[in-house]
Structures are given as C-alpha cells and as structure tokens.
Structure 1
Amino acid sequence: MKKNWLALSLTLALALALSGTVPILHAEETVAEGNSAAGKGNVSSCGGCHGENGNSAMPTFPKLAQQHSSYLVKQLQAFKGGTRNDPVMSPMALALNDADMLDIAAYYSSQNISANPAPVLPADEDTADGATDEKKAKEAMQALLAKGSNLYRNGNLASEVSACIACHGPSGEGNKPAAFPALRSQHADYLIKSLTDFKSGTRSNNPENMMHMIAKKMSDEEIKAVSYHISTMK
C-alpha cells in the first residue's frame, strides 16, 4: 500500500510538472519585484564569491545568475532571520533591508547563467572497480550521469526518493511562484554539498523540511549522480 501511494504521488507530481501546473499562492504570499539597476549597485560585496554577474568561478559557491528572485529573497530572509546559517552569508544578510533584498534578487535573476564544462571524476577518486585510467573514468562518469538522469525524472520507488522533476521542472527551471529554485547549470560541487547538508539536517530552513525528507533517503552515490546530471542541464 505504501509503495502504491508513493507511485501515485510521484505520477501526479510528474503530471503537474509536465503540464506546467504550479501551486496557487495566496495574495499575501506574492513576492514583490525589485529594481535590477538598483540591485547592480548593491552586489559589489557579493562578486568575490558569486561572480560579478552571478556566475561564480569557485564550484563550491552557488551560481545566482538566472535564479528566481522569489527564491533568492527567501534565502536572504532565512540568513537574516537565522533559520539558515552561514558564517559569511548570515552577517551580510543582516545588513540588508527588504528593498535591498528585492533589488539584489532582481539583478541576479536578470543575468544569464553560464554553462558548465563536461563533468569529470575528481583526480583522486577511483572508478567503481578501482581503475583510474581515463577511459574507465569517462565510462564511470557516463554511468553516473545516466543514473542521475533517471533519478531526476523518476525518483527511486524502492527507497521512496521523490523525482526532482516534480518541483524543479523538466529542464531544471524551477518554479518561481512556489520559490522552488532553478537548478540547471548549477555547480555539481555546490549541489553535492547542499544535498549532503539537507541529508544530515545541517540545512533545513524549509518549514516542512521537504528537502531533508528527500535527501535523507538518498545514498551518497545518488547525491553525486543527480548533482552531476543537473550540472549538465541547460
């Protein structure tokens, strides 16, 4: 019965995602739009980590370009309110007022996200059978990407991991009204860290702990696989 319910819920979620149907927000939940030009003048201190145009050079820092403004505002509010903690972001968010957040989010959402180079396994990481030669490393990455693609679209019924497509869309475009983030072309390293933090409970600012409930059921290999796959989405 439990598996049947999960299969039904995933099917419905997938159907909603493919049809473009999104959750209906009440008027009081609507996020106002900021001023992109004003936001550009407020991001000088952000560029060191996230890049001048929101495309961070360091793979452990998230790209903010083309991210939904609703999601960016939500995260800045979480850093400022203490429901999400980071030694760098938390004090920076404290200095921002609501208008600043809206303007910064509007600026980054108006920028184009950059594509990532083809992913490769870390140099110090062996392939599944212990081999480290280039051909087998490429084959191992292709297997990981295929696994990640399947997990993104179909989830894992056996372990009750929901399909990512239900909330983040067929192409990783996310859902602006629901403040579900766009994921396409995000750094794999940052995605791996985020999912690992959700899994451990280190990051759980979602009121319903949706991502924690999903990530805690994922294996480390599944986290790596879906992160690499998402990093290739455009």
Structure 2
Amino acid sequence: MIKKLLTVSVTLALAFTGHAYAQGNSAGKTKAAACAGCHGEDGNSMMPSFPKLAGQHQNYLAKQLQAFKSGTRNSPMMAPLAAGLDEQAIQEIATYYSANRIAGNPAPKLPDNDDDEAPAKTDEQKKAELTALIAQGSDLYRNGDLSREVSACVACHGPFGEGNKPAAFPALHSQHADYLIKSLTDFKSGARSNNPENMMHMIAGKMTDQQIQAVAYYISTMK
C-alpha cells in the first residue's frame, strides 16, 4: 500500500512539474516574440551578426538579460528591450530558448578579399585556405597557444562546444562565425567585459585577429 502511495505521489509530482514547465515555456514563447526579428522565432537567428539563442543554457541566457537590464553589459539595442522585463519574464524567455534546438550552419566561406589589386584566388586555393584556417581553429580550441598564453577553449566550453551549465559558461557549437568574431574582438578591446574576473578579456586580449577568425570558423562547424 505504501509503495503504491509513493508511486502515485511521484507520478503526480512529475506531472505537475511537466505542466508547470510547459506553462512557463508557453509564456516564454509569447514574451520572446519581440526578439524574433533578430534572433529568429525559435532562437535560430538567420542573420550572422546576431547570435543564436536556441539550445543555450537557461542560466546563461538569464544572466545576459540581467546584465543588459542593469547596464553591466553595454548594448544600445538590447538595453531598452531588457529594461522592460521583470525577473519572471527573464526566466521564462531564457527557459523557452534553452528548450529549443540550435540549427547547424551551412559550410563556411571565407569573406571576399577587399584588395582589388590582389590576384584572384582559385577555388582550390580558397578551399585549401579555409581548411587550414579551420584546422588552426581546432588546434587552438583544444590546445590553446602556449607561446601566447592563450588558454584552450575546451577547458570551459567542453569538447563539443556544449559549455558548462553549472558554471554558466555558454554553449558555443553551431554559433554564427561572424557573431563569435565580434564577441571575441569586443572581449579583446574591452568593449565587453561583464564576465567573471574578465576571464574572456584576458584570453582574447592575447589572441591575434587570425586566431580569432580561425577559432570562430571552427566553432561554427561544431555540431
């Protein structure tokens, strides 16, 4: 009898939790409607300069919205949007996006050369250059660069770019390369420095522009 009562209690508790989660997720979807223009309806932004939010850790998303609201993370675009959100709305929006699945990226392409006087590269040369760049990014992600004291990304963001949920280190896999390049460049310049102890500022500050491009391109290919 006791065993049956315990089973019923656990079942009811799980059902209630699932119902509450579904309600919160539905509320988050409604409140995230204003974000769809830049980040996509389900958090998969179609514009490379805006980050994908789908599949990102809930606690990381909430932390960033709180930072935009408080001004500790500077963004003229995000600040007024976050300012109107209370803590419940922040948590509901973060929960909604975290429950969605991030989409993969098409095969990366190197940007066109702005130097009109430079000789045009063949398709084979472009392919070889891209392959070498992604290989450099893979090595940097997994091993860092001891000569420049650049830490390996894998230590905080995981072997598959899955991040670290308890530590609020973001998932990176399948993120847009352009957004990653901008983020690392902002960390390097100090334009973005709201992370604990300026960890990313210290790391990115020691990276070359080529290294930033290389690791961003590699991460964008991770599934």
The residue that corresponds to 1:30 in the other structure is: none
Is 1:182 matched up with 2:186?
no
Is 1:48 matched up with 2:48?
no
Distance in 2, Cα, partners of 1:101 & 1:70: 10
Q: 1:169 aligns with which of 158, 162, 181?
A: 158
The residue that corresponds to 1:124 in the other structure is: 113
Q: How does 1:78-227 map to 2 (within 5 A)?
A: 78-124=67-113, 131-227=120-216
Distance in 1, Cα, partners of 2:28 & 2:37: 16
SS in 2 for 1:40: helix
Distance in 1, Cα, partners of 2:207 & 2:114: 20
SS in 2 for 1:189: helix
Q: Give the number of the structure with larger relative contact order, counting CA–CA contacts within 8 Å between residues 6 or more apart.
A: 1
- Higher Rg of the two aligned structures: 2
Distance in 2, Cα, partners of 1:109 & 1:136: 39
CA separation of 1:181 and 1:153: change in aligned 2, threshold 3 A:
same
Deviations 1:138-178 (A, max 9, x none): 11000000000000000000000000000000000001111
Alignment TM-score, normalising by the size of structure 2:
0.87
Alignment TM-score, normalising by the size of structure 1:
0.83
Q: Shift of residue 231 of structure 1?
A: 0.1
5+ residue gaps in structure 2? 1-20
**Aligned residues, how many?**
200
5+ residue gaps in structure 1? 1-32
Identify the range of structure 1 (131-140 vs 98-107) with the bigger mean alpha-carbon deviation: 131-140
Distance in 2, Cα, partners of 1:216 & 1:35: 39
CA RMSD of aligned residues (A): 1.5
Q: Shift of residue 207 of structure 1?
A: 3.2
Q: Shift of residue 131 of structure 1?
A: 4.8
Moved over 6 A (4+): none
Tell me which amino acid in the other structure corresponds to 1:210: M
Distance in 2, Cα, partners of 1:134 & 1:220: 24
Is 1:71 matched up with 2:60?
yes
